[in-house]
Amino acid sequence: MKSRITLLVVDDDQNICDAVKRGLEQTHNYTVHVATSGAEAVAAACELLPDVILLDLMMPQMTGAECSKRLRDAPLTAHIPVVYLTGLMGKEDVKALDGVIDGERYLAKPVCINEIIEAVERALERGKREQHVPPW
């Protein structure tokens, strides 16, 4: 039996968090935790050590970019793949870039569960490849 993937969904819109959590948990392949602020996300990531973080870019107090930097700077969470959610770019713009901007996986809002699942799987595969890079 395949083990469940632990995902941390971070968005200041509770409705988005709830919809993503519900959709992913219905597949029975995911355990989903939610954070509604950058500070809450950093604390939750350090405690939960999720397999992947789904992170909104536009949030008050601490943006997704600031949150991501804090996660990358912390040895405990630096290895966790992040998939960014953005309303700053349209779906066609993100699609034209194959969903990757500066080496990071992006999804344009509104997003469907299948898009999230595909992005999470790609992020996990990328994370596995990076862990197996020889040190030379």
CATH number of domain containing 124: 3.40.50.2300
Is residue 73 situated within a structural domain? yes
Whether 136 is covered by a domain: the verdict is: no
Query: Which range marks the domain in which residue 28 is found?
Result: 5-131
pLDDT, averaged across the chain: 84
Laid out side by side, the sheet with 5-10 consists of: 30-35, 5-10, 52-56, 82-86, 104-108, 100-101
Radius of gyration (C-alpha) of the chain in whole angstroms: 14
Q: How many domains does the chain have?
A: 1
pLDDT at res. 92: 61
Give residue 25's pLDDT: 95
Low-confidence ranges of the chain (pLDDT < 70): 1-2, 88-104, 127-136
